[in-house]
């Protein structure tokens, strides 16, 4: 049972509706009347951003079902407010709620570019593609103001370091020249997440993310600039978005996407009750049907965290979705796998006063 919303807060265009405590919290907060009938003046809930000064910026992972071993996340939390976001539980490590806090209390790392250059310059460093946007979106709305990404991209460009991106934020087009320059060297590829083509459903699921039409335009402009684009049909939500698999692939292919991938809905930890609450608020007539279908793909549970199963699910429901995706991908002419990114030219950029190479 989720706690009720603070009645003194006005919540607009947010995915979550309340602040459930994180799984590490030893106490639970409940509102109790003190007997005074003094009306509080309601206030609009706004996004707060605080800066973080980490000692390193590259995160390593050894998960057997993930294709990269290093990533950079310039932000903790995400203002897009996607109710299904699997990264919501990470806010519990900060002592914050995976609910409204995740989308309204954002941590930024403005010193990311300097930290990255320092880490790339270590003698022990060996290049491999760095993934951006693996936890929260680096092109979420506040990036248009804070502009952390251009510095990161310039460092990667100057060091000839390959990079991949997952985003649904249209601010990526602000940096189109940098992405195109790196793509021309076979050192960049971008994935655009498209959950649904239904603008009304997208507004409810992902209240501050760009519309489906905008994301197709992003694919088109990136492709025209020579950037390899992968459409990510993700997450596939039974009943709600699963019927659109073929339509999304077709629209993205027409826009210029050359590769495609699909991920089933994941509901780890605090995300499951938040998603159930969203269903009751936005799609009450479908709520039981959706969750029954989710559990049919997850061994009777809301979530299955096992490596090799968490992204695709299992059982008849999951297999049918995978078969539909594979057939549509083949019919539409998508390539298998993404582009091979070039690590061979990695090296420190020339500095003022350096002796030039003879060859």
Sign of CA dihedral 7, 18, 273, 233: positive
* Residues 227-255 as b or e (16 or more Cβ within 10 Å = b): bbbbbbbbbbbbbbbbebbbebbebbbeb
| Measured CA distances, 212 to 98, 140, 169, 208, 219 (Å) | 25, 15, 11, 12, 11
Q: In the block, which residue shows the tokens 């030039």?
A: 356
What is the spatial distance between Cα 309 and Cα 299, in angstroms, rounded to a whole number? 10
pTM value is 0.93
Q: Token digits for 113? A: 């570019």
Q: How many CB atoms lie within 10 A of CB 295?
A: 18
DSSP 135: S
Q: What pLDDT tens digit does each residue of the chain (359 aa) get? A: 688 877 888 999 999 999 998 888 887 777 666 666 666 678 899 999 999 999 999 999 988 888 899 999 999 999 999 999 999 999 999 999 999 999 999 999 999 999 999 999 999 999 999 999 999 999 999 999 999 999 999 999 999 999 999 999 999 999 999 999 999 999 999 999 999 999 999 999 999 999 999 999 999 999 999 999 999 999 999 999 999 999 999 999 999 999 999 999 999 999 999 999 999 999 999 999 999 999 999 999 999 999 888 888 999 989 999 999 999 999 999 998 889 999 999 999 987 655 555 55
Can you state the angle between helices 315-331 and 245-255, rounded to 10 degrees? 30
Predicted pLDDT at 12: 93
Domains of the chain in sequence order: 45-331 (3.20.20.70)
Predicted pLDDT at 356: 54
95 dihedral zone (left: phi>0; alpha: psi -120 to 50; beta): left
What is the spatial distance between Cα 235 and Cα 90, in angstroms, rounded to a whole number? 18
Predicted pLDDT at 338: 86
What is the spatial distance between Cα 225 and Cα 358, in angstroms, rounded to a whole number? 33
Order across the sheet with 229-236: list the strands: 59-60, 70-72, 130-132, 163-167, 188-193, 229-236, 259-264
Contact between 196 and 235 under an 8 Å Cβ cutoff? The reply is no
Predicted pLDDT at 37: 64
What are the backbone angles phi and psi of residue 216, rounded to the nearest 5°?
Answer: -65, -35
Pairing of strands 105-108, 130-132: unpaired
What is the spatial distance between Cα 237 and Cα 255, in angstroms, rounded to a whole number? 23
| Measured CA distances, 232 to 91, 229, 275, 276 (Å) | 24, 10, 21, 24
Q: Token digits for 235? A: 């997450």
Peptide bond into 9 cis (omega under 30): no
Largest CA distance in the chain: 83
Predicted pLDDT at 38: 63
Q: How many CB atoms lie within 10 A of CB 348?
A: 12
pLDDT in tens, 210-244: 999 999 999 999 999 999 999 999 999 999 999 99
What is the spatial distance between Cα 218 and Cα 193, in angstroms, rounded to a whole number? 11
């Amino acid at each position: 049972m989720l706690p009720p919303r603070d009645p003194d807060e006005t919540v607009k265009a947010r995915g979550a509706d309340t602040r459930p405590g994180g799984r590490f919290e030893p106490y639970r907060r409940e509102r109790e009347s003190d007997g005074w009938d003094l009306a509080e003046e309601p206030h609009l809930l706004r996004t707060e951003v605080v800066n973080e000064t980490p000692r390193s910026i590259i995160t390593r992972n050894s998960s057997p079902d993930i294709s990269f071993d290093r990533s950079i996340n310039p932000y903790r939390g995400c203002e897009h407010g996607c109710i299904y976001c699997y990264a919501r539980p990470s806010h519990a490590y900060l002592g914050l709620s995976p609910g409204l806090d995740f989308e309204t209390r954002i941590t930024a790392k403005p010193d990311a570019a300097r930290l990255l250059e320092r880490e790339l310059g270590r003698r022990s460093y060996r290049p491999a593609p760095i993934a951006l946007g693996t936890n929260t979106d680096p092109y979420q709305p506040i990036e248009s103001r804070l502009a952390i990404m251009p510095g990161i991209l310039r460092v990667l460009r100057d060091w000839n370091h390959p990079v991949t991106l997952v985003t649904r934020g249209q601010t990526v087009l602000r940096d189109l020249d940098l992405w195109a320059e790196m793509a021309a060297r076979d050192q960049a590829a971008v994935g655009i997440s498209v959950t649904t083509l239904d603008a009304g459903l997208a507004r409810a699921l992902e209240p501050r993310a760009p519309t489906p039409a905008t994301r197709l335009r992003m694919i088109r402009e990136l492709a025209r600039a020579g950037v390899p684009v992968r459409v990510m049909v993700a997450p596939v939500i039974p009943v709600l978005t699963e019927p659109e698999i073929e339509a999304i692939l077709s629209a993205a292919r027409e826009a210029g996407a050359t590769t495609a991938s699909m991920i089933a809905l994941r509901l780890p930890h605090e995300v499951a009750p938040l998603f159930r609450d969203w269903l009751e608020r936005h799609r009450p007539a479908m709520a039981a049907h959706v969750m029954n279908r989710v559990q049919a793909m997850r061994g009777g549970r809301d979530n299955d965290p096992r490596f090799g199963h968490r992204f695709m699910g299992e059982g008849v429901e999951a297999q049918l979705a995978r078969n539909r995706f594979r057939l549509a991908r083949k019919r539409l002419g998508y390539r298998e796998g993404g582009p091979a990114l070039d690590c061979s030219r990695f090296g420190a950029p020339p500095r003022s006063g350096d002796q030039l190479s003879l060859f």
